[in-house]
């Protein structure tokens, strides 16, 4: 596809010293742009900063771009990656790592805004046999950062995991009953879920990364 050069969003991660852009621009002028730049669907640049600046130097308005959409099925993402050069694939990996780091920080900060007492359950206030729960589960990349912890009694620890688990034929009846009764069986858990966890559960259900 073609995209306007001025519409490409350049993040902070790209180097400022890009070498002799003039030589690259001359090459593009003579033989054309051999490899498109790589962008996200919202026009953020993943790879190809030197090519972008060389085309800008030539006074070009548009530039060829390959779009890598991480929201698609992984089979489609992989097919896109297979068309990229090895150094561009490395740039994609760096981009993903940086995006994951940003996402982790936002999730941890969201959890850290709530007061945490490691000696009592965050749901019911119980003070015996307290267990540590990862707000962002480890299978989704959660770490032992102190901001990623919630302290729960054993009963509510199991309950939070149950609420975050995807609906399946083994638990659908219990979940429907829990939602339809407005959480009357355990009102503190119902309120805790919607106050602190529901938005994260929705994100994880849509996520293709584990």
0.75 surpassed by pTM: no
Residue 150, pLDDT score: 94
The pair of structure tokens assigned to 20 is 């002799």
Which tokens hold the place of 87? Answer: 């150094």
Annotate 162-176 with b (16+ C-beta within 10 A) or e (fewer).
Answer: ebeeeeeeeeeeeee
Q: Does the domain at residues 2-87 carry the CATH identifier 3.90.1530.10?
A: yes
The answer to whether 29 touches 64, Cβ cutoff 8 Å, is no
pLDDT along the chain (210 residues), means of 10: 91 68 88 86 85 90 85 64 75 78 86 90 93 89 91 93 76 72 77 85 61
Output the pLDDT for position 126: 93
Residue 210 is predicted with a pLDDT of 39
Gap between the Cα atoms of 204 and 88, Å rounded? 28
Q: What is the DSSP letter of 151?
A: E
- Three-state DSSP state, 66: strand
Task: Look at residue 45 in the predicted model and tell me its pLDDT.
Answer: 87
**Are the beta carbons of 131 and 152 closer than 8 angstroms?**
yes
- Report the pLDDT value the prediction gives residue 80, as an integer from 0 to 100: 67
Burial class (CB in 10 A: 0-12, 13-18, 19+), 148: buried
Paired tokens of 178: 């829990």
In a 3-state reduction of DSSP, which class is residue 140?
helix
Q: CB atoms < 10 A from the CB of 117, how many?
A: 11
d(CA 191, CA 126): 16
Q: Quick one: pLDDT at residue 72?
A: 61
Q: Taking the domains of the chain in order of start, what are their residue ranges?
A: 2-87, 110-206
Q: What sign for the dihedral angle of Cα 60, 62, 65, 69?
A: positive
């Amino acid at each position: 596809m073609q995209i306007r050069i001025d519409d490409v969003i350049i993040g902070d991660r790209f180097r400022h010293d890009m070498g002799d852009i003039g030589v690259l621009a001359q090459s593009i002028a003579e033989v054309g742009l051999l490899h498109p730049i790589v962008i996200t669907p919202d026009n953020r640049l993943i790879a190809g900063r030197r090519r972008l600046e060389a085309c800008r130097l030539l006074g070009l308005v548009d530039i060829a771009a390959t779009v890598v959409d991480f929201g698609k099925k992984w089979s489609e993402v992989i097919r896109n990656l297979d068309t990229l050069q090895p150094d561009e694939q490395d740039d994609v990996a760096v981009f993903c790592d940086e995006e994951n780091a940003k996402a982790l920080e936002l999730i941890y900060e969201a959890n850290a805004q709530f007061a945490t007492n490691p000696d009592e359950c965050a749901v019911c206030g119980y003070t015996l046999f307290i267990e540590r729960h990862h707000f962002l589960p480890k299978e989704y990349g959660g770490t032992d950062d102190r901001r990623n912890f919630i302290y729960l009694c054993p009963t509510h620890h199991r309950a939070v995991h149950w609420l975050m688990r995807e609906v399946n034929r083994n638990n659908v009846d219990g979940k429907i009953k829990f939602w339809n009764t407005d959480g009357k069986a355990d009102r503190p858990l119902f309120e805790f879920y919607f106050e602190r966890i529901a938005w994260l559960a929705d994100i994880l259900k849509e996520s293709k990364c584990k």
